[in-house]
A = this chain, B = another copy of it.
Amino acid sequence: MSSLEASPRERNRRGEGARLRADILAAARELLDEGRDDRDVTLRAVARKIGIAAPSIYKHFPDQSAIMLAVVVEAFEDLTLRLRAARDAAGADALQRLRAVCDAYLDYAQQVPQRYRVMFGGVWDTGQALSQQSITREQLSSLGEEALGVLAEALGAAVAAGYCTSTDLFGDAVALWLGLHGLAHQRAVTSAFPWPTDIVDRIVVPLIHLTAPPATTATV
């Protein structure tokens, strides 16, 4: 939405050329979210959406896959921010904070399913954009680490508060994340599955090794 629609875009002033980069990124993100597939996010479709000529993109991205890669990087940063925000908004109780992070993760996937699929779809993973200067190999493989870190931290706090047990915090955090991911991904992909209404509890409660009941009256 906003001003990114059809053709007559006015050219940026000198020194503000970098603004087109942001517009390209936004258009690609919107095409991805609206479309049914990342195949819809072509270089020419992006150009069409902002109302520029297709070659103009090459001033800002080395090639087509670099755009998708940038969208994914941005999406992971966005996800991490949302997890932190949900955690901080959940108050002081460690179990509620952990649960808030899990819910925020699932919400993100449900709000932007196509984006979620591409983030964890791995096609950009094999991209040749690596050889370009756009991103280093470490950055790429550590993309999800920050978000996973938020989850692991929240799980650790819940363990420290006596809600759960863990013999290996990283291992249990990864297992929890995989459970969330399984649900998030499958929901993003299939509209017509008869999900049990309490499916989130049936995944989260066992995987966090919940032992003590919640301290407050809120359900967990």
Binding site for B on A (CB under 8 A): 36-37, 39, 117, 120-123, 125-126, 141, 168, 170-172, 174-175, 177-183, 185-186, 188-192, 195-196, 198-199, 202-203, 206-207, 209
Candidates B120, B126, B191, B195; contact of A174 at CB < 8 Å: B195
Q: Are B171 and A199 in contact (CB under 8 A)?
A: yes
Task: State the Cβ distance, A27 to closest chain B Cβ, in Å.
Answer: 22
CA distance A141 to B39 in the complex (A): 23
With A126-B36, A207-B207 as known contacts, state yes or no: A178 contacts B168, CB within 8 Å. Answer: no
A36's nearest neighbour on chain B, judged by CB, is: B126
Q: From DSSP, what is the main secondary structure of chain A's interface residues?
A: helix
Chain B residues within 8 Å of A122, by CB: 117, 188-190
Q: Are B141 and A186 in contact (CB under 8 A)?
A: no
